[in-house]
Structure 1
Amino acid sequence: MKRIPLFFFLFVPVLLFAQFFDQKDGRDYQVIFVETDDFGVEYLDEIEQSLAEIKQPELRLRLLNDLGYHYHTRNLRKSLSIINRGLQEAQGLKNDLWLARMQVSQGAILLRMEELDQAEEVLLSAKMKLPEVESWLLLTNLGYVYERRGDLGMAFEYATKTLELGKKYSDQKAMAMAYSDISNLFWKQGKFEKGVEYGLKSIALFEDRGIKDLDFDFTLHVLGNNLVELGRVEEALPYFLRSIAIGTQYGFYNNLSDTYIALTELYRQTEDFKNAEISGKEALKYAELLQNEFMVVRSLHALGRLKNQEGDFESAVVYLDRSIRTATEDFGDLYYLGLIYRDLSEAYEGTKNITASFQAFKKHNELQQQVFNAEADQRIALLQTEMDVNQKESTISLQLERLKRQEIIQIFTLVFTVVMVFFLFFLYRVFVKRKKYSLLLEKQNREKEFLLKEIHHRVKNNLETISSLLALQTAQIENQELQEIMVESQNRVQSMGMIHQNLYQGENLAAIEMKHYFENLGRFIIDSFDASERIRLEVSMKPLELNVDRAIPIGLIVNELITNSLKYAFPDQRVGEISISLEEKNAHLYLRIADDGVGMGSTTQLKGTGFGSQLVQLLTRQLDGKMTLSTQQGTELYFEFKIEQAA
């Protein structure tokens, strides 16, 4: 059973629908199976009747999606028709979000109609448009596609992704569904203890949530399945009965069929054949009402398996053969198809039709190997022998030929074993050599990393020495203009020193994290002008790493422009703000440096025409960039650099 949480609305009585939808009377509606489960089986009829009164586009799309999806529990063809109508309206409104949600519902319905490839295609299309917070619903259904194909490994992977998203967004429903799916997959793998463990985790989350919905109903029956396989039928029965009560209350035909199939197995194990047959026929009834071939196949299989245990092998063959014919060759779920062939083999064996029994079991073995790589050699060998005896082919010559073949097989096995021993020994030697080489490379990499960090450290120390010498020289200069030139030079050296400091202190020896670098550089320059009390620095950008070749020239540009702002934008000890941002987009870097100072009037040139201005222009050309100046409010400079061609 495949499931998506529902986002429906419950409105009672029907005559009040329009008032609720246009909210003219100020009343709020409740989202069913999200905010409430206090209603009966007639809710689909009420929602369908209300659609004619709804004009608000967003609300219409929501109702069409919810109504269409939930109808999959009663009538698959009608469900698909409603969703197709919703898709047309969403496309007409060009509403990609609701188009994606409709596609998730469409994929879930196609899945139940055994259109696995089409379901996968629709779900993958929706994935491109759906936000991550909702994508766990889509991932869950993709997992069901792989489960039905028999690829339980991929199905488990998608269930794990659903669980991770549920934890990331603290979504209790997503986590509960993931645990439920994992429990079901463990049941299919025969790991029933683990199935019970995860089923109980799911039930706990659903009960804490306090809503009895389609997925909670399904999880009750999954937990019961695992308990039955462990022989704990008394514990399983209450879960099944509770599941049936919920399914009956809301009209969940699919879940009802599923649970009655499970009850058939429970009563079969306890040899209560009367109730087992009643449950099997109830399962078949709901499957046929739903027009779901997958559930019809499973219901017929449950009845056939029951007849096998009763010893009524003729009836078992009828049920199981009908089950296989309903499935057809395109039936996607190899797991269930394999089980049907296994039980059909037993039924044919009971009717003494050994040839048919062998062929059925051979088919079962092929299917099980595709899903689990199951071991069935002993059973096949036994049936093969019985078939040979039944066909009266056990002559002396045949026996001698068989002995010869066995001798050949023994010799081949011996030779093969020797070859494999030598091959494994060779692989071991290769592994040892590769491991030694890998350890040597790892050691060399650590040494190179240490040396590279040491180089950056020494370069940083040398630049700090130069900066200190410049500071000492500045202290001895009395000329104010010359002092400013020396301070600017010191800041340029410091900006490059900070690059190398970040390199040897960081994890990445080839790149600089620019946001942290701008913050440190800005604070240093502001402090060097003794302006930290009145000038605030704002670095409004996301963390971004650049290689050294780009980081150094961009750092020098920022150094010059912050210095320029401090010199000219805030005269007379004005208070103000300098902001910096850098982002990468479409193979370009976009740098913005702005201040809220006095501005530059109508000029389009930077103040100061000396070395600093020339350096900014030179560095901009070096990075194959262009600069734009705006002086409407304060001063803003924009730079655009091409990443591919940057030096």
Structure 2
Amino acid sequence: MILEKKLFLALSFLVLFSPSIYGQIFDFSKPDPYKKIFVETDDFGLSYLKELEESLEKIESDTLKFEVLNDLAYYWHTRNLSTALEFTEKGLALTLEKNNSLWNGRFQITKAAILLRQEKLDEAEAVLKEAEAKVTESDLSFLNTQLGYVYERRGQLGRAADFALETLRLGEKLNNNKAIGIAYSDLSNLFWKQEKYEEGLEYGLKSLSFFEERNVVDLDYDFTLYVVGNNYLKLKQYNKAMEYYTRSIEIGERYGFYNNLSDVYISLVDLYAFLNEFESAEEAGKNAIKYAYLLDNAFMLMRSYLSVGELQIQNKNYPAAITNIKKSIEVATPSFGDGFFLSKAYNSLGEAYAKNAQYQEAYKAFSEYDSLNKIVFTAEADQRISQLETEFNVAQKENTIQLQETRLLQQQTSQNLISLIAGLLFLILLVLFVSFSNNRKKNKLLRKQNKEKEFLLKEIHHRVKNNLEVVSSLLALQTAQIKDPNVVSAMKESQNRVYSMSIIHQRLYQNDHLSSIEMKDYFLNLGNHILDSFGEEERIKINYKMPELHLDVDTAVPLGLIVNELLTNSLKYAFPNKQAGEITIDLDKKSANELQLLVKDNGIGQTEGEPVKGTGFGKTLIDLLTRQLDGTMQVIYTSGTQYLFNFKSHRFP
């Protein structure tokens, strides 16, 4: 899957490199500086909360500041609930000051998400009801998700399922894959609590498919991996459960999702116990408690102690089990709202007491378990969830039937239109046939004319090439009559300039492309010729580090002349006293209308401001040709001499 590959690469980078490699979340040089985390990007490391906080002072827009502050508050609730609540209260105060009702409602939803994890379920519900009148329809899926969590924690699983399905309907209406994924994830978790593990697994995998379409790794995707692992664990598919728990831990550790990490380590206690790997189970229990303390979350801490106690029952260490389970219950009371896990705690406590021969205490614990179990696992809740599943499946089928009826109506309409249009088509076909026949004759004539023009154009390039070779030969004859070495050198340089132009015309009439030149092959031919003219084939090596690149004639000719001058200059001055060396030519497109040319040697180099050697004609020619191509030149005086050119033009093919 695409998201899994992306996750693997991201985690590999996290291990190999420092956090500075991650993409920045803010670029204040842009009109929209915030690359929204877990929406537009997940390309950042553990320091993202610090970057969000530091950005607040630089943000001038109220709306952007609200958005960043709300994200800061919400994602702190994955690490520490008290800190998250501080940022939320700051956001609420600021939105009231600015009289922004919409963002005030959004901060209230975030506050409720924190309150319900602090077991303040009534207060969370009241805040959500107040926020409902302030926010837009696009916010309601998140709001309903939090309301579902409130009822789930109270043990009212049927009502929780109602809100999950409402989130699903909103997600489908607004085409919001994240909302759909969260709804399926919540239904998967509810089926798991109802011990309907096959259905839970089906909905969990369906949830992951919607998250993966978003191609963003986030808190809810991470939680769903954990939920799917739980269903696999109960179905005794231990390898699959371990696979999903491991993936969840990798994400949680990358982004600091302490709540999910504590959840997964609690489940790993059970998994390792089933596998009889008790040392690993104990280590997982310690990690669960560690992250629960970091999160400052009584709910996670209660479950962590419970998981450790249940492990000690399996190890027959009943006194230690009683101590840890009692500690779990002490953490949970008196305001603990989750009857599901509290009932599990009393059941396990009763079992530990019974196996430790403390039968009176066991009876009291089992009695408490029975009371809580009747509240959570009611026939009404079970019936409601089954009913909701049936309603959902029926709605899906009704939508399919309605879609098929619409398609049939469209097909019938299409058939009528086809009947009406058939006659017109016949007439149009006759007209088209006549037109096609005429166009065919015209095209045949045009192809003939094009071939004649192509032949003539190739012949012109052939003749130009021949004429340039005649000029080169004349220069060679003239050079043979000259004794002055400076004049001889100038004549040779002129010959090479003429040759650089003649190669282009040769390539044009020899290749299929009459409008462009392949530059790598061209530079290779030009370089070999210049080395031969100086007799330096054995001493100097030219490297052509460039891809195949086709350019038009008006660009290729100036570039060829520039490279000719630079090669000649290097051969004359860079390698004195028969010194061996290398010259590198690199030409590449940096964008649709920008070329970069690099010519460098590893010779003796020169210093900045050093007087021009020779007549200076070559430098003047290079400057003129660079301006002709709307370019810039930079000379780098390190490790030999490097000439770096950037050319801007709209003519590059």
Give the TM-score of the pair, scaled to structure 1: 0.54
Give 3-state SS (helix, strand or coil) of 1:33's partner: coil
CA distance, structure 2, for counterparts of residue 317 and residue 339 of structure 1: 13
CA distance, structure 2, for counterparts of residue 26 and residue 89 of structure 1: 23
CA distance, structure 1, for counterparts of residue 321 and residue 222 of structure 2: 30
Matched, 1:181 2:223: no
Matched, 1:147 2:152: yes
> Partner of 1:224 in structure 2?
229
> How many angstroms does 1:292 deviate by?
0.3
> Partner of 1:234 in structure 2?
239
Matches within 5 A, 1:133-532: 133-373=138-378
> Partner of 1:441 in structure 2?
none
CA distance, structure 2, for counterparts of residue 308 and residue 321 of structure 1: 13
> Partner of 2:58 in structure 1?
53
> How many angstroms does 1:26 deviate by?
5.4
CA distance, structure 2, for counterparts of residue 370 and residue 246 of structure 1: 35
> Partner of 1:82 in structure 2?
87
> How many angstroms does 1:51 deviate by?
1.4
Give 3-state SS (helix, strand or coil) of 2:77's partner: helix
Maintained 8 Å contact 1:64/1:82: yes
CA distance, structure 1, for counterparts of residue 341 and residue 120 of structure 2: 17
CA distance, structure 2, for counterparts of residue 57 and residue 130 of structure 1: 17
Q: Using a 3 Å threshold, how does the CA distance of structure 1 residues 365 and 103 change in structure 2: closer, same or farther?
A: same
> How many angstroms does 1:70 deviate by?
0.7
Deviations 1:142-183 (A, max 9, x none): 000000000001000000100011111111000000000000
Give 3-state SS (helix, strand or coil) of 1:31's partner: coil
Q: Using a 3 Å threshold, how does the CA distance of structure 1 residues 18 and 342 change in structure 2: closer, same or farther?
A: closer
Maintained 8 Å contact 2:229/2:245: yes
Q: Using a 3 Å threshold, how does the CA distance of structure 1 residues 96 and 321 change in structure 2: closer, same or farther?
A: same
CA distance, structure 1, for counterparts of residue 349 and residue 98 of structure 2: 53
Give 3-state SS (helix, strand or coil) of 2:36's partner: strand
> Partner of 2:417 in structure 1?
none
> How many angstroms does 1:28 deviate by?
4.6
Give 3-state SS (helix, strand or coil) of 1:179's partner: helix
Maintained 8 Å contact 2:171/2:179: yes
Maintained 8 Å contact 2:25/2:36: no
> How many angstroms does 1:67 deviate by?
0.3
Matches within 5 A, 1:123-134: 123-134=128-139
CA distance, structure 2, for counterparts of residue 348 and residue 17 of structure 1: 55
1:308 aligned partner, one-letter code: I
CA distance, structure 1, for counterparts of residue 123 and residue 335 of structure 2: 13
Matched, 1:104 2:109: yes
1:85 aligned partner, one-letter code: K
Maintained 8 Å contact 1:300/1:322: yes
Maintained 8 Å contact 2:25/2:34: no
Q: Using a 3 Å threshold, how does the CA distance of structure 1 residues 165 and 307 change in structure 2: closer, same or farther?
A: same
> How many angstroms does 1:133 deviate by?
2.1
Give 3-state SS (helix, strand or coil) of 2:27's partner: helix
> How many angstroms does 1:29 deviate by?
3.6
> How many angstroms does 1:64 deviate by?
1.0
CA distance, structure 2, for counterparts of residue 239 and residue 256 of structure 1: 12
Kindly report the root-mean-square deviation, in angstroms, between the aligned alpha carbons of the 2 structures.
Answer: 1.9
> How many angstroms does 1:19 deviate by?
7.9
Give the TM-score of the pair, scaled to structure 2: 0.54
CA distance, structure 2, for counterparts of residue 354 and residue 32 of structure 1: 54
Give 3-state SS (helix, strand or coil) of 1:150's partner: coil
2:332 aligned partner, one-letter code: A
> Partner of 1:20 in structure 2?
27
Maintained 8 Å contact 1:18/1:50: no
What are structure 2's unaligned runs of at least 5 residues?
1-18, 380-653
Deviations 1:243-292 (A, max 9, x none): 00000000001110001011111111122111111001100000001110
Matches within 5 A, 1:526-565: none
Give 3-state SS (helix, strand or coil) of 1:20's partner: coil
Q: Which runs of 4+ in 1 moved over 4 A?
A: 16-19, 25-28
Deviations 1:473-514 (A, max 9, x none): xxxxxxxxxxxxxxxxxxxxxxxxxxxxxxxxxxxxxxxxxx
> How many angstroms does 1:350 deviate by?
1.2
1:285 aligned partner, one-letter code: K
1:20 aligned partner, one-letter code: D
Q: Using a 3 Å threshold, how does the CA distance of structure 1 residues 19 and 300 change in structure 2: closer, same or farther?
A: closer
CA distance, structure 1, for counterparts of residue 247 and residue 215 of structure 2: 15
Q: Using a 3 Å threshold, how does the CA distance of structure 1 residues 13 and 57 change in structure 2: closer, same or farther?
A: farther
1:367 aligned partner, one-letter code: L
CA distance, structure 1, for counterparts of residue 307 and residue 220 of structure 2: 23
CA distance, structure 1, for counterparts of residue 129 and residue 342 of structure 2: 27
> How many angstroms does 1:27 deviate by?
7.1
Deviations 1:339-375 (A, max 9, x none): 000000010011100000011011001100001148x
> Partner of 1:465 in structure 2?
none
CA distance, structure 1, for counterparts of residue 20 and residue 95 of structure 2: 28
Give 3-state SS (helix, strand or coil) of 2:76's partner: helix
Provide the identity percentage.
Answer: 47
> Partner of 2:424 in structure 1?
none
Give 3-state SS (helix, strand or coil) of 2:265's partner: helix
CA distance, structure 1, for counterparts of residue 33 and residue 334 of structure 2: 51
Matched, 1:71 2:76: yes
1:244 aligned partner, one-letter code: I
2:137 aligned partner, one-letter code: E
Matched, 1:113 2:133: no
> How many angstroms does 1:130 deviate by?
1.2
> How many angstroms does 1:53 deviate by?
2.1
Deviations 1:52-71 (A, max 9, x none): 22222111111111101110
What are structure 1's unaligned runs of at least 5 residues?
1-11, 375-647
Q: Using a 3 Å threshold, how does the CA distance of structure 1 residues 17 and 280 change in structure 2: closer, same or farther?
A: closer
CA distance, structure 1, for counterparts of residue 25 and residue 234 of structure 2: 51
> How many angstroms does 1:318 deviate by?
0.6
CA distance, structure 1, for counterparts of residue 80 and residue 20 of structure 2: 24
Deviations 1:26-83 (A, max 9, x none): 5754211001111111100111112122222111111111101110011111110111
Maintained 8 Å contact 2:112/2:146: yes
Maintained 8 Å contact 1:119/1:145: yes
Q: Using a 3 Å threshold, how does the CA distance of structure 1 residues 309 and 357 change in structure 2: closer, same or farther?
A: same
2:27 aligned partner, one-letter code: F
CA distance, structure 2, for counterparts of residue 26 and residue 328 of structure 1: 51
> Partner of 2:605 in structure 1?
none
Q: Using a 3 Å threshold, how does the CA distance of structure 1 residues 27 and 137 change in structure 2: closer, same or farther?
A: closer
> How many angstroms does 1:234 deviate by?
1.1
1:96 aligned partner, one-letter code: S
CA distance, structure 1, for counterparts of residue 332 and residue 26 of structure 2: 47
1:205 aligned partner, one-letter code: F
Give 3-state SS (helix, strand or coil) of 1:217's partner: helix
Deviations 1:560-608 (A, max 9, x none): xxxxxxxxxxxxxxxxxxxxxxxxxxxxxxxxxxxxxxxxxxxxxxxxx
